[in-house]
Structure 1
Amino acid sequence: MNEKVDFHFYAQKDKSLEKTLTVKDFLALGLGTILSTSIFTLPGIVAANYTGPSVVISFIVAAIVAGLVAMNYAEMASSLPFAGSAYSWISVVFGKFWGWIVGWALLAEYLIAVAFVAAGLSSNVQGLISPFGLKLPNSLAFPLGTNGGVVDIIAVIIVAIVTFILFLGDDKSSKVANLLVALKLIAIIVFIVVGATAIKAQNYVPFIPKPHLNANGTTFGGWGGIYAGVSTIFLSYIGFDSIASNSAEAKNPQKTMPRGIIGSLIIGTIFFILVSLVLVGMFKYTNYANNAEPVGWALRQQGHVITATVVQAIAVLGMFTALIAMMMAGSRLIYSFGRDKMLPKQVGKLNKNHLPSVALWIITIVGIVMGGIFPFTFLAQLISSGTLIAFMFVSLAMYPLRKREGKDLPMAPFRAPFYPVFPALGFLGSLAIFWGLDIEAKTYSVVWFIIGVIIYFVYGIKHSHAPIPDEKDAETEQEVK
C-alpha cells in the first residue's frame, strides 16, 4: 500500500522533459513568485490587521523559518531532481501514500496561489486605471458575492494570457519571466526610493503596539500579533518550492537548484523588509486596512500620481512572472500525478513540444474559476497550510535521505549545513506557523485532505505502481503525442 518509489523510475520517466532552465531562469521564477502580489499587498494588510509597524519582524521571522526549510529543499533537489518536487521526494523516501498526501497539499497551494495572484493582479489593474476615470461595472470587477460582483473578469483574462505564454514552451516562457522580473525589481526599487522621502518617524511609534483583540476576535499587537502576522504572510515565501517543482527541466540541477532556491529567498527577503519599512513609515498602518493595492495608494496620497501609475503599471506586468512560475510548478505537479497513475495516465502525457499540456489545461481551468469567483482575502487564508505541510515533511525526510545518500540514492552535491539540527528547526518552525493559522484555514485543510485520501484509496492505490527501472511498460513510459 505504501511502497517506496525507485529513484531510477522517476529519472527515466522525466527524461523526455527538456533540460533548458539555468540559475538565472530559476532566480527569475523564484523572485517572480516571492515578489509577487504579496509584496504589493500583504505588508499593508498585515500591518493594519495584526502587527502595526512590527510587520517587519513578522517578515524576518517567516524568512528565518523559510530559510531553514530552503536548505533542506536545496539538498533534496540536488540529489533527486524530479518533477513534482516534494511529492516525488517523499514518494522515494517515505513511500507513495505519504508522497500523495504531500502532493495533494501542494496542489491546494498551487491552485489557490494562481487564483490569489490573479485576484491581486486584478485589484492593481483596477487601481491603475481608476485615475483615468475607467471603471468596470461591479458585476465584472469583483468576485461572486463581493460588492455585487459576479466574476472578476480581469483575473480570468490574466490566467488565459499566462496559459498562452506557457504553451510557447519553457525556453520562451522563461525569457518572458526574466524580463518581467527585471521590470518588477525596478518598480519595487522606485517605490522604495520615492517612498523613503515621505517617511515620518512618528508612524513607527509604537513599533510593537499594545496587544488587544480585533472586532473579529483575532489578535492585534504585541508578540501575539507578530505571530499571527507570520502565519498570514508565510505564503510570501513559497517561491523556492515552485523552483523545485521544475528541477527535472534544469541544466546541471546539482548546482542550479541550490543557487536558485537559496538566492531567490535571500534577495526576496531583503526587498520585503525594505518595502514594509517604507510603507508603514509613509502612513499610519491603520490606513492600509482592507486595501488590496497599498503601494500605489500610498504613492498617490503623497502626490506622486505619475510615479504611482508607472510603478503599478510595471508591477502589474511583473506579477505575471508569479503566475508563470506557479502555473508551471502546478502543472508539473499534476503531470507527476498522471506520470505515477495516481490520476488518469492521460494527465501525465507530454505533447509534441514536450509540455504537459493536459496538466496545463487543468490548472488553467481551475485558476480561472477560483480567481474569478473567490474573494482575494479568502484565498490568502488558505495558501499557507499546504505549503507548511510540505515543508514539515521535507524537513523530516532529510534524516532518511542522509542515510541513503551514496548508497541507493545519489550523493547530493549541496549539503544542508548544521545537520541534524537545521532540519529539526525547520520542522518545528513550520509546525508553529501552521498552528497559528486561523480556524477557517485549518478546517478547509482537513476537508481537502479527506478528499485526497478518498481519491488515493478509490483510484490511486489501484492504478499506480512503481516498476523496476528496466521494466518495459508502454503505459508508464513518457509518450510524445
Structure 2
Amino acid sequence: MRKLTLWQKMCRRESPQHYADKDGKLKAVLGKREMMAMGIGTVIGAGVFTMPGIVAAEYAGPAVVISFILAALIAGLAALAYAELASAMPFAGSVYSWANVIFGEFIGWLAGWAILAEYLIALALVSSAWSSYFQGFLSSFGFELPRFFQASVNLNQGTGFDLFGALSILLIGYLACCGLNNIARIENWLVIGKILVIILFILVGLTAVQVNNWVPFIPQHQPGTHFGGLSGILAGATQIFFAYIGFDTIAANSAEVKNPQKTMPQAIIGTLIIATALFVGVAAVLTGMFPYDRFLDNAEPAAWALRESGHLFTANLLSVVALVGMFSGLVALLIGGSRLIYSFGRDGLMPRKLAQLDQKGLPKAAIIVITIIAIILGAVFPISMLANLVSGGTLLAFIIAGMAVLRLRKRPDIVQHRFKMPWFPFLPILTVLTSVMLLCSLNMVAIYLMIGWLIIGALVYLLYGSRHT
C-alpha cells in the first residue's frame, strides 16, 4: 500500500459506510423520548435557575428575555443543521464524525477536539455547582465538610478538593457503565420532575410580579461596560449560548438511536422549542419579581426570589429540584462526551482501546476515561480558570455544522431523501455568519484560551493521531 504524506492524511475523508459498519456494534436502544430527555436535561441543566438572574444583573436587565430569544434563534439555525447532518449520518461523535466525512480527517479532529473541551468543562462546572447546592442543602441540617474538601484548589480559602463534585461524577460514570436503558429511564424521570418544578416556579412567581420592575425593559448602555443596550443583549446571549451543547449531546448518541432519520430531527428541534420556552418564562418572571440589580452575585436567584416573596415551601422544593436538574445534566454530558472519545478511538486518533465495547455493547473504557478527567478538572482545578472556554467550542462546532450542510448536498454517496434544512443555501450560510458574530463577541481571554486549546489539539494529531489512523 502506498504510504500517504501528512497532507494526504489530513485531507482524506472517511467513508460514510465505514462509519455505519463500525458503529453497527452499538445497540440501538434510544427513542425520541429518551433523546429529548437527554437534550433538555443538558440545555436546562445547572443554568435555568441561575443564568437568567446573572445575565440580567451583569448584562441585559429585563431584556435578558431578548438575550435568550436571540441565543435560541441562532442555536435554532444550528439545530436545523444538526438535524440534517444527524439524519443523513447517524454516527457516534456528532460534528467530529460529520466533519471527518465532509471535510477530512484534520478538520474533523479539530472539531471534535473543540467540542471535547466543552464536554469536559461543562462537566466540571455543573459538578461544582451541584456540590455547592448540595453542601448548602446539608448545612441546613447542621452538616459541614472539612474546608479542604468543600471546593477545588483555592489557597486563599483553604480548599483543595471538591469531594461532593467528584462523587457526583463518579456516580454518573457508574450508572453509564450499567447501560443506556437504565440511565435513560432515570434521565426521563429527572427531566420530567425538573420541568414540572420550572412550571411551578413560573406560576407561583407570576403572583409576585410587579410590572414596574420591567421598566425600562432595555436599560441604557453604560459606556465602558458590557451592560445595557444592544451590546448588553448581545453579550448576554453569548454568555448563555454554551447551554445549547445539548444538541451535540443528542447527536453524539446517533448510532444508538432507533429510527435515527426520523427521531434525530424531532428530538433536536423539540429540545430547542421546549428549552427556550422554559428559559424565557423563568427569565421574564424572575426580573418581574424584583429589580434586576438585586440578582448581582446571587448564586441562587430563583430560590432567593421565592423566599423573599414569602413562598418558602416552593423555594425549598426548587432548591432540591435544582440538585436533581443538575444531576440530569451531568448524565447527558458524560454520555455524550464518552461517545465522542469512543469515536476518537474508533478512528485511531486516540488509543483504539477506547473504542472497545463490553458485553453490553458499551464503550466502558471511554466512559472511565472521561469520568477520571472530569473528576480531576472539576474537583481540583479552579472553576474560574476553566469557565472562559465554555462557549467557544460550541460556536466553532456550529460554524462547522453550517458549512458541512453546504457540502453535504453535493455528496452522491450520502442518501439525500431524509430531513433537509429549509431555505438552502440561505439558512446554512446564516448559521455560519451568526455563529461567527457571537464567537467574535467573546472576551479576548476566552478567544486566546480557545486558540491555545486548538494548538494543543493540532500537536496531538501531528504527534499521535496522524501516525495511528
Q: TM-score range by the shorter chain?
A: over 0.9
Deviation at 1:239, TM superposition (A): 0.8
Q: Name 1:450's counterpart in structure 2.
A: 455
Q: Name 1:222's counterpart in structure 2.
A: 229
Deviation at 1:136, TM superposition (A): 3.5
Q: Among residues 89, 94, 98, which one is paired with 2:98 in the alignment?
A: 89
Q: Name 1:144's counterpart in structure 2.
A: 153
Cα separation, 1, equivalents of 2:38 and 2:306? 27
Q: Output one character per residue of 1:333-374: Cα deviation in whole Å (capped at 9) or x when no partner.
A: 000000000011111111121111111111111111111134
Question: Alignment RMSD, CA only?
Answer: 1.4
Amino acid corresponding to residue 348 of structure 1 in structure 2: A
Deviation at 1:412, TM superposition (A): 4.4
Cα separation, 1, equivalents of 2:132 and 2:385? 14
Q: Name 1:168's counterpart in structure 2.
A: 178
Q: Name 2:38's counterpart in structure 1.
A: 29
Q: Name 1:463's counterpart in structure 2.
A: 468
**Which piece of structure 1 moves more, 130-139 or 366-375?**
130-139
**Which piece of structure 1 moves more, 22-31 or 121-130?**
121-130
Cα separation, 1, equivalents of 2:453 and 2:323? 31
* 3-state SS in 2 of match to 1:403: coil
Correspondence 1:115 to 2:124: yes
Cα separation, 2, equivalents of 1:104 and 1:155? 24
Q: Among residues 353, 360, 365, which one is paired with 1:353 in the alignment?
A: 360
Conserved? CA contact 2:46–2:325, under 8 Å: no
- When residues 62 and 127 of structure 1 are mapped into structure 2, their CA distance, relative to the original with a 3 A threshold, is same
Correspondence 1:418 to 2:423: yes
Deviation at 1:318, TM superposition (A): 2.4
Amino acid corresponding to residue 368 of structure 2 in structure 1: W
Deviation at 1:138, TM superposition (A): 3.5
- When residues 148 and 226 of structure 1 are mapped into structure 2, their CA distance, relative to the original with a 3 A threshold, is farther
**Which piece of structure 1 moves more, 363-372 or 243-252?**
363-372
The unaligned stretches of length 5 or more in structure 2 are 1-8
Identity of aligned residues (%): 46
Q: Name 1:436's counterpart in structure 2.
A: 441
Aligned residue pairs, count = 459
Q: Among residues 248, 259, 271, which one is paired with 1:264 in the alignment?
A: 271
Q: Name 2:164's counterpart in structure 1.
A: 154
Q: Name 1:3's counterpart in structure 2.
A: 12
Deviation at 1:375, TM superposition (A): 4.2
Cα separation, 2, equivalents of 1:90 and 1:335? 16
Cα separation, 1, equivalents of 2:328 and 2:42? 7
Q: Name 1:61's counterpart in structure 2.
A: 70
Q: Name 1:322's counterpart in structure 2.
A: 329
Conserved? CA contact 1:127–1:296, under 8 Å: no
Correspondence 1:16 to 2:25: yes
Conserved? CA contact 2:53–2:292, under 8 Å: yes
Amino acid corresponding to residue 52 of structure 2 in structure 1: P
Q: Name 1:303's counterpart in structure 2.
A: 310
1:260-409 equivalences under 5 Å are: 260-404=267-411, 407-409=412-414
Q: Name 1:183's counterpart in structure 2.
A: 193
Conserved? CA contact 1:39–1:236, under 8 Å: no
Q: Name 2:240's counterpart in structure 1.
A: 233
* 3-state SS in 2 of match to 1:366: helix
Conserved? CA contact 1:232–1:381, under 8 Å: no
1:70-81 equivalences under 5 Å are: 70-81=79-90
Deviation at 1:384, TM superposition (A): 0.8
Cα separation, 1, equivalents of 2:144 and 2:220? 40
* 3-state SS in 1 of match to 2:52: helix
- When residues 49 and 342 of structure 1 are mapped into structure 2, their CA distance, relative to the original with a 3 A threshold, is same
Deviation at 1:142, TM superposition (A): 2.5
Correspondence 1:38 to 2:47: yes
Cα separation, 2, equivalents of 1:387 and 1:49? 22
Q: Output one character per residue of 1:66-114: Cα deviation in whole Å (capped at 9) or x when no partner.
A: 0001001000000000000000000000000100010000100111111
Cα separation, 1, equivalents of 2:238 and 2:149? 31
